[in-house]
A and B are shown apart, each in its own frame.
Chain A
Amino acid sequence: MVRARNTALGLVILVFASVLPLAEGEVHGSAPFALPFAEPPGVSTWFVSQWYGNTVTAYRNRAVLYRAGQGLHFGVDFAARCGTIVRAIGDGIVVAVDGPYGAAPHNVVIAHPNGYRSLYGHLLERSPLQVGQRVQQGDPVGKVGDPASPNCDRAPHLHLEIRDASMRRAFNPVSLIEADWRRLTLGLTLPGQRFVLPYESPMQWRTPWDQPDVTFGGILLNEWQDTWPR
């Protein structure tokens, strides 16, 4: 009797779980988040300088900078002038300010009702937000900074990540942020806007939309000896 009840309960859960993707699919029809800037992209404002995933620059820095993220670039980089206002990509609650999540010198993490968390890295200064504070989509989170120079003249950009609630997994923001992504590179052909071709698997992870989730602390996913380019 107990076993039958447990089986029925399992049935209900499984049916519910199997139907869930439908609902999630509807959410994906219009991605749940928005871009982190109010201004339109442009040569004097901001643009996507490095995609999430198997980028050329991630491959070149897989053993050091991106080692914790399985060698891949586990966020999207938005090149922007230092001081550009960064905005929340969705409603949520601030769960970390300058937490232990890298992306120095300053970062902010926001927990969203749909279970995702967004991380805003390389901020210019400590965010005025407080842990526990509620924010709405579009609210200021901080200012763009430069991880390579206090003068903001070498690599000013926002590093934006979307992770799960445990902060152990990162997802491709391109599939979770509503945007016309093709236009956001400005067609500048930067190395970060290109994906490495591994000769042993030349069709793997080659576009902004086809990139794997990252598990922090996992094995390198791009430890290839032979690629184009190197």
Chain B
Amino acid sequence: MSGRTPGHGERVLWRYFLPILAATLFGVLVSCRFQGIGPAAHPTALYSATALPSSTPASLDGMVSTPTPTSRRELLTRTVPKEALGDWTASPTVQPTAEDRSEIVAAECCGVFAWAGVDWLLVYDVEPRPGGWLVNVVSGERRWIAPRFGVPGADVIAVPDPISGRTTLFRWDGSSGGTIENGGAIVYPDATGRWIAWSVAEEYAVPSSAVSRISRVMVLDRASGETHFVGRLRVSALAWSGVGSELLVVGETPEDSQAGLWVATPPSSGLHLVKEGRFFVNLRPVPGTRSVLVTQVLSGEPKDDGVWLIDLDRGALQHLPIETNYRVAQKSVWVLQWGEEHDRLIGYSLPDLEVCASAELGDQVLSDVWEIAPDGRWVAYWRTSDQRVVVEPLPGCHAGSQG
């Protein structure tokens, strides 16, 4: 081929075909864009860095009247207000209003976050530095905690590291508060700050991905430094009650003879069944209480399927007539209604379950990733349009009103 002049075919190719191909490709791209094909229908995340300060500066005493729209907040280095730790009801901030539709961008990407305390959201973000960030949704303060995401507790954030095989407990200022040699398992601190639970898988292969592995449930007493074996189950969910000290486990016995929601009170008690049955999902303890919401599905008895409110004190069960896409705050439960352009949250007061609030979100929630702040004042969600994590204020939940 080299050294010869182009033949007729090549000339045709260059003169006619390539322009036609270019025009066709342009047409295809335009067509895809307007027909909503592929990624255009679900935009990819934004990588661009935005300017840091764009909001009302936080005052020195940490009080800001209302949240303001911002794409990125100023990085500050204040300490956490003492009131913010372990008490969902005490808040140093002003109650946001439903009319204030301002939003806070908590992260540029990724859809991984959890509420850590009053007005504090733990979120994974890639900018300006990849890792777990504590974000104050009122002041905009952001603190980098660790290169990985973790589980927030009353006074620490537990960050698992599968590479080193240990989980590190980080204080809210980012300093280390100790490590747990547990293979780097995800651990769950309780609301009292004393107990930490995790499970250790004993088997590798399962007959179906819908079957949980047989695991040993372990609890660390931070007061004594002792680790306790709680029980052995096929664990599908693990959580502490809203007041702490009581460990909740959804699972079945290794020989599959019993299944349901189990409770243990370490270090003295083993696991005992609170509600027997299979296919319990969406376990959500009510913050600050000894109640828990859980959903049963495909039980074979339609009257048993649906959302249950379980009072661990009295052992009472209440079947709740709400949809299954719920999250729980201290005195309310919120249900997400999927909308065509904007999703909507409906609030129900607890325990009487009257409709108490309604709020239209600024966008649609992506992949069911949303969480209500434990005090019910904020919703954080993964926004569909740009795949950022945003926080919006919620109206107060007052029984008899609908926001």
Q: Which A residues fall within an 8 A CB radius of B?
A: 3-4, 6-8, 11, 14-15, 18-19, 21-22, 25-26, 28-29, 43-44, 47, 49-50, 57-58, 60-61, 64-66, 73, 77, 79-81, 146-149, 153-157, 175, 180, 182-183, 185-190, 192-195, 197, 199, 202-203, 206-210, 225-230
Q: Nearest chain B CB to A105's CB is how many angstroms away?
A: 11
Q: Which one, A11, A148, A175, contacts B207 given CB within 8 A?
A: A148
CA distance A206 to B387 in the complex (A): 10
Q: Which of B31-39, B79-87, B168-176, B260-268 contacts A (4 or more CB under 8 A)?
A: B31-39
Question: What distance in Å separates the Cβ of A174 from its nearest Cβ neighbour in chain B?
Answer: 10
B163 in contact with A29 (CB, 8 Å)? no
The residues of A that contact B10 with a CB separation of less than 8 Å are 7
User: Measured between C-beta atoms, what is the minimum distance from B283 to chain A in Å?
Assistant: 9
Q: Is B17 an interface residue, CB under 8 A from the partner?
A: yes
Q: Are B130 and A188 in contact (CB under 8 A)?
A: no
Contact B110 A80 (CB under 8 A): no
Quick one: closest A residue to B161, CB to CB? A226
Q: Is the interface of B mostly helix, strand, loop or mixed?
A: loop
A227 CA to B209 CA, complexed, in Å: 18
Measured CA separation A26–B130 after assembly (Å): 40
Residue from B35, B298, B306, B325 within 8 A of A26 (CB atoms): B35
A80→B8 CA distance, assembly (Å): 63
Binary per-residue interface labels of chain B (353-370) against chain A in the complex, 1 for a CB within 8 Å, 0 otherwise = 000000000001011100
| CB of B328 to closest CB in A, whole Å | 12
| B211→A148 contact, CB < 8 A | yes
Across chains A and B, the number of contacting residue pairs, with CB separation under 8 Å, is 193
Report A-chain residues with C-beta under 8 Å of the C-beta of B209: 50, 57-58, 60-61, 65-66, 73, 77, 192
Considering the complex, give the chain A residue whose CB is closest to the CB of B209: A57
Q: Is B13 an interface residue (CB 8 A)?
A: yes
Complex CA gap A81/B126 in Å reads 42
Does B295 lie within 8 Å of A43, measured CB to CB?
yes
Please state if A4 and B9 are interface contacts (CB–CB under 8 Å): yes
A228 B45 Cβ-Cβ under 8 A: no
B8 cross-chain contacts in A, Cβ below 8 A: 3-4, 7
- Give chain B residues whose Cβ lies under 8 Å from the Cβ of A7: 8-10, 12-13
Ordered by A's residue number, 20 sampled pairs between the chains whose C-beta atoms are within 8 Å are A6-B9, A49-B210, A61-B206, A64-B204, A147-B208, A148-B207, A153-B256, A154-B278, A180-B338, A182-B364, A186-B324, A189-B282, A190-B281, A199-B130, A202-B126, A203-B47, A203-B126, A206-B111, A228-B148, A230-B185
